[in-house]
Amino acid sequence: MRSTEMTEESRVKTYIEGFDEILGGGIPEGSVVLLCGQPGTMKSSVAFSILYNNSLHNQAETVYVSLEQRKNSLIRQMKSMGFDAETQNRIRIMDLSGIREELEKAETDETVISVLREYLQRTLKDSRCSIFVLDSLNVIDISAGHLSRRSQIFFLFEWLREMNMTSILISESSPEDIMEKGIEEGYLSDGIINLSLSSDDESAVARSIRCVKMRGTPHDTSFYSLQFRNGRFAVTESMR
């Protein structure tokens, strides 16, 4: 893993036009951030675009771990949006979508997190990976093994911080559920970015983005319109 010294100025840019300014320059380096929202809010696309642009502009080595979508399907989807992972050899896509089925067949006490940790420590031993995406956190709920969900989540967050990477964890939980119902990751995470959908009528659907919290940087918690045009995400006017 990469060994760097944290400074107050260290930031990982999202490269979402207008959003890094809202975050005071970007995500503080080394943070563990939840990217949450309902299906269809482009969570995977936003997360992948962060990796893609950091690889393109900063030569950052990054990792995208998929626990649900197959690698070939993910590559096709992102390529159709203008994010060609095959041309950015610093993006490593790990297809671990079969972990859950393998654990169920083996009838073992191992959990998704323990297998994920072992696999990543082995494959990233000599890597300089600086940004990590896990898609998605919800798979952990399905295979608890002998540990409670609370224990698994705590274990995951502590391990990610030890790895000294900026981590983005995709979740389909709403920020209301995360904060109001006391879901563990809401308190353990350094930041929460929420993507949402709204509709005034059947033909118009609007996407929005909001930084619910972000430790270590001043930030605006307003909702902003999220647009995707010509291979780039951008925020426009405040929505509320």
Q: How many CB atoms are closer than 10 A to CB 111?
A: 22
Residue 239 has a pLDDT of: 64
Find tokens 């269809």 and name the residue: 40
Greatest CA separation for the chain: 52
Residue 153 has a pLDDT of: 86
Residue 138 has a pLDDT of: 83
CA–CA separation, 148 vs 141, rounded Å? 9
Residue 180 has a pLDDT of: 64
Residue 3 has a pLDDT of: 39
Of 182, 191, 183, give the one whose Cα is nearest residue 160: 191
Domain assignments of the chain as residue spans, ordered by start: 30-195
Q: Which is it for strands 232-238 and 224-229: parallel, antiparallel or unpaired?
A: antiparallel
Domain range 30-195, CATH class: alpha beta
Of 198, 204, 191, give the one whose Cα is nearest residue 223: 198
Residue 2 has a pLDDT of: 44
CA–CA separation, 148 vs 193, rounded Å? 26
CA–CA separation, 65 vs 71, rounded Å? 9
Residue 4 has a pLDDT of: 40
DSSP letters, 116-176, are HHHHHHHHTTT--EEEEEEE-TTHHHH--TTS-HHHHHHHHHHHHHHTT-EEEEEE-S-HH
Q: Which tens digit of pLDDT belongs to each residue from 196-234?
A: 998 766 667 899 999 999 999 999 999 999 999 999 999
Q: Do residues 57 and 32 touch, judged by C-beta distance below 8 A?
A: no
Query: What type of residue sits at position 65?
Result: V
With a cut of 70, which residues of the chain have pLDDT below it? 1-9, 100-101, 103-109, 141-147, 179-183, 200-203, 239-240
